[in-house]
Amino acid sequence: MYRYILFDLDGTLTDPKEGICRSVQHALEKAGITVPEIDKLTPFIGPPLKDSFREFYHMDEAQTEQAVKDYRERFAEVGWKENIPYPGVDRMLAHCRQQGARLAVASSKPQVFVEKILQYFGLRKYFDVIVGSELDGRRSKKEEVVQETLKQLYRKYGRRLSEEECRMQTAMVGDRKFDIEGARSEGVDGIGVSYGYAEKGELARAGADAIAGNVEELEELLLGGNKNCAENKIQIKPVPEKSILKAVYMVAPFAAYFLLYELISMIVYSLLNLMTGISQIQLREMLLNATGAERENAVVIQAVVSVIINAGTVIALYLLYKSWEPLQWKRPVALEKGKRIRRDLQIAGLGISLSLGLNILLTALATLLAPVFLQGEALENFFKKAGYENATPLLPGILLFVLVTPLLEEMIFRWLLLNRISRVFPAGISVIVTAAFFGWYHGNLLQGVYAFLMGLVMAVLCIGEECVSAPYIFHLSANAGIFLCGFLPKGIQEVMTRPYLSVVYIVIGLVFYKILSKNSANICTK
């Protein structure tokens, strides 16, 4: 199979006919040229716009510049949405990623539009590198686009191989001769797709190494091996189609987590017992029944032990699933510093407001309903286990509870587990399953419900922002809001935690959520 795969966008991943041809029609009408049938404008799909306006309508430089401007006027407003992903593309890309291939988009379309289209149709998550042309006309030739894409791809993911070895395991996929010519100019395989907009025989004349008639054939070509890569084939089975096997496929990473966590817990608690003489059962009793300095020490010991266990589990899971390429830490689309800071502050505001609102609301409901079902010592232990008598000192609490624990939990639940199953299953199922597991992980009903609700938001943030830093900022801020609130004067705490204020905090959180949704093409919209 190919380790590095570059895809053209228009005519290869999506059918852009409506958006491109209607926008070309708009530009031509502005120039006084009427073309009533958009089918006559399909030759514009693929090559650079300037070249097409010059070639097909003999425009001079000034006319060409104005036509491109008019085209983009409509395309920027509605044309970019008038794309239709070809049937099976999502599945094909997922399978390529599951097999360990590095994917990139190399398009002559302006990069800003490529990014928006991929995010809008939920395809952005599959690609490690995206390169398009610049709005000022730079990098408009396909050869230049392919060259820059390969440069970025090999720099990030080809360091262990020579450039020649990388090129031997690379393919460029496209529907026009320009894609094949771009591949040949860089010495990589060129694979054509005949379901796009090439004229009959165009791809063969351009020298395509292979031609796929549909997306299924393309997947077979990309994953079935090629003359250069047979010895380097990555052995990962495709997703099973039968529902029972597919269910097992989803459960497997969570079962792996549970077994690894239990194994590492046994080792860590055994070492704790050898070093301090405190067993796991004794530590649990101290957390429930001890008071004063003894309880503070027990809380700190438990927090340190949890950090060590989680860190060990992260390392073990990473070693087990590293071929699945965990999500990157930073956003794949770089934001200006000011916009990045503003967006991170909005995520932090969302975390603080939702954590306060949900905690107050759930505490009020538990206080109201728990006595109906529990009595005496059982009721007392319920609230102790729920964490309402937390005695963590300030500095250890900030280090462990606010900074380290959210980091490790995000690495486990979002960086590894969510990322793994979201490449196989629909985003909605992946979000709900990982949130439910995150709630179960917290070990009691009250915290479990809270963690499930917060886990839903963190999973959506992770998928929408396509990185781990976003849910980590949310998680850190949520923990900080709850933990630091406990160190405020009692009078302020009583005012801040009045039950009716839970609605206010949740509404504020929804406002932050709406702002985040509005400013992202992917988050919360699919």
Residue-wise pLDDT for 332-341, tens only, equals 555 667 778 8
Question: At a CB cut-off of 8 Å and minimum separation 6, what does 419 contact?
Answer: 324, 326, 327, 462
* Average confidence (pLDDT) over 34-40: 82
pTM comes to 0.57
pLDDT in the model for residue 250: 64
**What percentage of the chain exceeds 70 in pLDDT?**
85
Give me the sign of the Cα torsion angle 189, 193, 198, 201: positive
Residue with tokens 């039950």: 499
What value does the mean pLDDT of the chain take?
82
Residue among 8, 70, 128, 189 flagged as catalytic = 8
3-state secondary structure of 84: strand
Q: Over the stretch 54-70, which tens digit does the pLDDT of each residue have?
A: 888 888 889 888 998 89
Question: At a CB cut-off of 8 Å and minimum separation 6, what does 436 contact?
Answer: 452, 455
Cα separation, 245 vs 248, whole angstroms? 5
Contact between 438 and 417 under an 8 Å Cβ cutoff? The reply is no
Cα separation, 435 vs 455, whole angstroms? 4
List the domain boundaries for the chain. 4-11+84-232, 17-81, 243-518
CB atoms within 10 A of CB 325: 17
3-state secondary structure of 242: coil
Instruction: Tell me the CATH number for domain 17-81.
Output: 1.10.150.240
CA atoms within 13 Å, Cβ hemisphere of 443: 7
Domain 4-11+84-232, CATH number (from 3.40.50.300, 3.40.50.1000, 3.40.50.970, 3.40.630.40)? 3.40.50.1000
Q: Would you place residue 325 in the very low, low, confident or very high pLDDT band (cuts 50, 70, 90)?
A: low
What is the token pair recorded at 229?
Answer: 């890569």
3-state secondary structure of 154: helix
Residue of higher predicted confidence among 183 and 366: 183
Burial (0-12, 13-18, 19+ Cβ within 10 Å), 368: exposed
Asked if residue 236 has pLDDT above 50, the reply is no
Tell me whether residue 90 is one of the annotated catalytic residues.
Answer: no
Contact between 287 and 302 under an 8 Å Cβ cutoff? The reply is yes
Q: Over the stretch 493-512, which tens digit does the pLDDT of each residue have?
A: 888 888 899 999 999 999 99
Q: Where in 154-293 does DSSP place strands (E)?
A: 170-174, 189-193, 210-212
Contact between 194 and 212 under an 8 Å Cβ cutoff? The reply is yes
Q: How far from chain centre, in Å, is Cα 94?
A: 13
Asked if residue 453 has pLDDT above 60, the reply is yes
Give me the sign of the Cα torsion angle 84, 86, 90, 94: negative
Domains 4-11+84-232 and 17-81 share a fold: no
373-395 exposure pattern, b = at least 16 Cβ within 10 A, e = fewer:
eeeeeeeeebbebbbeeebbeee
Cα separation, 81 vs 19, whole angstroms? 7
Q: Would you place residue 249 in the very low, low, confident or very high pLDDT band (cuts 50, 70, 90)?
A: low
pLDDT in the model for residue 424: 64
pLDDT in the model for residue 457: 94
Residue with tokens 């995010």: 119
Contact between 200 and 137 under an 8 Å Cβ cutoff? The reply is no
Sheet containing 102-110: which strands, arranged edge to edge?
129-133, 102-110, 4-7, 170-174, 189-193, 210-212
pLDDT in the model for residue 229: 39
* Average confidence (pLDDT) over 468-496: 90
3-state secondary structure of 410: helix
Q: Would you place residue 380 in the very low, low, confident or very high pLDDT band (cuts 50, 70, 90)?
A: low
Q: Where in 248-337 does DSSP place strands (E)?
A: none
Q: Which of 32-36, 251-255, 295-299, 475-479 has the highest mean pLDDT?
A: 475-479
Q: Over the stretch 164-216, which tens digit does the pLDDT of each residue have?
A: 888 999 999 999 999 999 999 999 999 999 998 888 889 999 999 999 999 99
Lowest mean pLDDT among 61-75, 149-163, 311-325, 435-449: 311-325
Q: Over the stretch 254-307, which tens digit does the pLDDT of each residue have?
A: 788 888 888 999 999 999 999 888 888 888 888 777 777 787 788 788 888 888
